[in-house]
Structure 1
């Protein structure tokens, strides 16, 4: 479980604080990335397994950067953490923004949107791993964001119970498909469909969905687009790039539903759908 000590108890100090601040000032270049790797190793040895209290994008977070790539990036380089994706989201935010964060991890995307969307937003942060879910809810409480609702379940093609495979080297990586790393740990978790989740919250529309489920995005999106009314098709759809692992041509399916590829980054594909689009083919 996440430590119950008040925020600030694990604030970095001395040389550790100096080096973290330094990595956060660097541009996104090859040379800077190499420098960050070297500094990161030194800092994590000095931290010796302790959590770290930080701020990123104006929100408070407590992170454990040792076996979670997401937390490592948020700690050392928030300025380059999915920068294009977050910029697109920030530009899209409007009154009453509805954002669904599937595979929320420790809450980076949800917290970012909440910090900018105001009190009328509705944000659903979905995370199936019990330990990571604890970290997510802790970070939400740190910021007292009433606009975020966290749900501890997997999102799958059908409601019920599923096997989730956990990567032992990256606590933030779990999938309904066997992960590439040997020694993946299977656990059984409750699952709901994306449509069931959204309709259960009573949403009349969805502005944006971020879906990061380690190659199982096709298993979730295909049935959703087949069954959801077009008013629940998100304007923005941010998908982890699983082109090599998807079992269908998901990009073509999205194109048939009125989406165009807005951005392609190292990690993700961002699709946008024109307002008022009603294609059903």
Structure 2
């Protein structure tokens, strides 16, 4: 019964996803082939974007979603496709297997992919090698200050920082976003760190204060309560204090103002007065 329930959920996701609406039967066939190959122990190479590819293995949720829909995060990834240019810098924080990093690199942007989990970072590098993109990989976590923290193990794309010894994990090096950015201007930063997004922003005070990050995408679910024991209001307050307005994409990838209270889909913070289709200042 469990297998049948999982199959039903996959088929429902594939059939309803907007990326598949013009070729639903083809998408279902692709999903079935992936499942069959995976149960035989075989990986699948699947497209991401128009020409990029990545390795997908069964039971790896981040890669599986790319098999089921390209792009998997329809509205969010369409935002980046409309903004990123060859003179852009994009930083993918919590890159996992690299779907966003590859998506951004295909747009011509310079990409830095940050992934603290060693196994995921190895898969990320494998996917980058498959495409030949000059993506820089940093195998570390981002936090409020440099040092060492603990990260859970074996949870695929839901590995997260461990606070106050509440769970078992292994040591990972931490850096700050300010350290990685230096004095550069950044077109976009995607932050998906399973509830620790506020720590990443705490380590980006200089770049935020100097308004050198144009757009940020942040996960906005309840995981912050489990990881940090807080809701998302501290993140919203930090962004507002530095002159960002808070938005979410509509079905066509256009950013519209949103109420960030509570939880919901990923939120995009846009620095006030930003021209999202212009190059970086001085670049």
Range class of TM-score, shorter chain? 0.7 to 0.9
Q: In structure 1, what is the equivalent of residue 261 of structure 2?
A: none
Q: In structure 2, what is the equivalent of residue 196 of structure 1?
A: 179
Does 2:17 align with 1:28? yes
Q: In structure 2, what is the equivalent of residue 254 of structure 1?
A: 239
- What is the distance in 2 between the residues matched to 1:23 and 1:40? 11
Q: Deviations over 1:89-127 (max 9, x none)?
A: 11112341010100001110010011012xxx3210011
**Which of 78, 87, 97 in structure 1 is aligned with 2:78?**
87
Q: In structure 2, what is the equivalent of residue 150 of structure 1?
A: 137
Shift of 1:42: 8.4
**Which of 152, 164, 180 in structure 1 is aligned with 2:151?**
164
Q: In structure 1, what is the equivalent of residue 128 of structure 2?
A: 140
Aligned residues: 236
Q: Which consecutive unaligned segments of at least 5 residues does structure 2 have?
A: 1-10, 251-263, 276-283
Q: Deviations over 1:115-154 (max 9, x none)?
A: 012xxx32100111111101101111111112x1111111
Contact 1:23-1:76 at 8 Å conserved across structures:
no
Q: In structure 2, what is the equivalent of residue 128 of structure 1?
A: 116
Cα gap change, 1:276/1:116 in structure 2, threshold over 3 Å: closer, same or farther?
closer
Q: Secondary structure at the match of 1:78?
A: coil
Cα gap change, 1:55/1:28 in structure 2, threshold over 3 Å: closer, same or farther?
closer
Does 2:234 align with 1:234? no
**Which of 193, 196, 199 in structure 2 is aligned with 1:216?**
196
**Which of 62, 71, 74 in structure 1 is aligned with 2:55?**
62
**Which of 187, 197, 222 in structure 1 is aligned with 2:170?**
187
Q: Secondary structure at the match of 2:189?
A: strand
Shift of 1:242: 3.8
Shift of 1:165: 1.6
TM-score by length of 1: 0.73
- What is the distance in 1 between the residues matched to 2:12 and 2:48? 13
Q: What do you get for the CA RMSD once the two structures are aligned?
A: 3.2
Shift of 1:275: 4.0
TM-score by length of 2: 0.73
Q: In structure 1, what is the equivalent of residue 268 of structure 2?
A: 270
Q: Secondary structure at the match of 1:172?
A: helix
Contact 1:176-1:216 at 8 Å conserved across structures:
yes
Cα gap change, 1:190/1:267 in structure 2, threshold over 3 Å: closer, same or farther?
same
Moved segments of 4+, more than 6 Å? 22-25
Q: Deviations over 1:213-265 (max 9, x none)?
A: 0000011213422x336445311100011455263521122122111122068
Contact 1:65-1:75 at 8 Å conserved across structures:
no
Contact 2:151-2:170 at 8 Å conserved across structures:
yes
Q: Deviations over 1:151-179 (max 9, x none)?
A: 1111111111110123x4x412221146x
- What is the distance in 1 between the residues matched to 2:201 and 2:76? 19
